[in-house]
Amino acid sequence: MQRVSKRLADGRELVYFFDDRAPAEGIPDDRRELAAHRPESVIRRDALRGDWVVVATHRQDRTHLPAQDECPLCPSGPDRLTEIPGHAYDVAVFENRFPSLTEDAPDPRALDGEDRQFEVRPGQGRCEVVCFTGDHDASFADLSPARVRTVVEAWCDRTAALSRLPGVEQVFVFENRGAEIGVTLAHPHGQIFAYPFVTPRTGRMLGNVREHRARTGRDLFADQLSAELAAGTRMVAQSDHWAAFVPAAARWPFEVHVYPLRRVPDLPALDADARADFAALYLDVLRRLDGVFGVPMPYIAAWHQAPVRQDRELAWLHLELFSTRRAPGKLKYLAGSESGMDVFINDIAPEHAAGLLRGEGKAA
């Protein structure tokens, strides 16, 4: 694999990752005329929930479901310049033009009311786009194992780089796939967020791990993984270095958790064998997901990594993959109980979902 770093016309960073070597003719520069990139973002704290909310009003103007011949993630051509100047690429990662968080976020003005009641901070961080292929009509499941390995290397590289930025507390790597999920660009891509705080989901999860360790002396992640492996009823796939299963308390109709069998805190900590072994297992899981109803499944694939500066000894890297589709033509919506009270109601038993993913039985 070869890595090449460039700059876009407005100063944003662009990094290419090639399966083998960069093109011998070199990589063209961005020939567009773009103003300097200066988005603004703030974060506001919800005192009752203890969560941070990002306010990034410039994102109202972001590109929304363009036609294929106007896709900003396709390679540039002689007659059309895009976000990626290269005429072809393997994997490309660049700073989002419409980021939720930005390194140069200005200090926000105080909100009306008591300052301590309404806490506001700059929305400092970074948001990057990860393009898995220059093929607009492909999906992650269509990638070769070699390309998936390159994507994994890109994830590891960017996690390490973003973790070194001042003020970054957590790096989140994810993919949204499908119009039903809410994607605004159809080109196969994922994203990376570098947050200036530890996310609520991670904080709660690691709090439970800490409590379990204090009470039992054992690791909760290890206990959960061992129990799923022993039960077997919710297993979907397993390899020398990874296990994929539907969790016993799955929230979504189809939800698969993918764990490395050896505990590591984050993607950069994976060894070469685990990185290489991931490709075949993950492609198998994605293809099984698409095979349940015979149509492409909308999904979110979310990597859970350790925070940058705290609780790293508690974390266990894992991927949570879930789909909103519960039946052909039917989606799982977050309605009153889920959205209002954070109590999920699942219409499909996790054991049945795992069986369908293993190819046992027929979907309703």
DSSP 220-250: HHHHHHHHHHHH-TTEEEE-SSEEEE--TT-
How far CA 163 is from CA of 52, 80, 126, 195, 260, in Å, comes to 19, 35, 10, 10, 21
How high is the pLDDT of residue 347?
95
Contacts of 333 (CB under 8 A, 6+ apart): 324
How high is the pLDDT of residue 113?
66
How high is the pLDDT of residue 108?
85
Long-range pairs for 291-294 at CB < 8 Å and ≥24 separation? 291/359, 292/254, 292/356, 292/357, 292/363, 293/325, 293/327, 293/328, 293/363
How high is the pLDDT of residue 114?
63
C-alpha to C-alpha distance for 226 and 224, rounded to whole angstroms? 6
How high is the pLDDT of residue 285?
98
Interval 102-132: pLDDT, tens: 998 888 887 766 666 789 999 999 999 999 9
Interval 261-304: pLDDT, tens: 999 999 999 999 999 999 999 999 999 999 999 999 999 999 99
How high is the pLDDT of residue 23?
87
Instruction: Report whether 130 contacts 154 (CB < 8 A).
Output: yes
Q: Where are the domain boundaries for CATH 3.30.428.10 in the chain?
A: 2-197, 201-357
Q: CATH assignment of 2-197?
A: 3.30.428.10
Q: Which listed residue (187, 189, 241, 257) is catalytic?
A: 189
- Residue segments in the chain with a per-residue pLDDT below the cut of 50: none
How high is the pLDDT of residue 24?
78
Instruction: Report whether 235 contacts 245 (CB < 8 A).
Output: yes
C-alpha to C-alpha distance for 153 and 1, rounded to whole angstroms? 9
Going by CATH, does the domain composed of 201-357 fall within 3.40.50.150? no
Say whether 352 is catalytic.
Answer: no
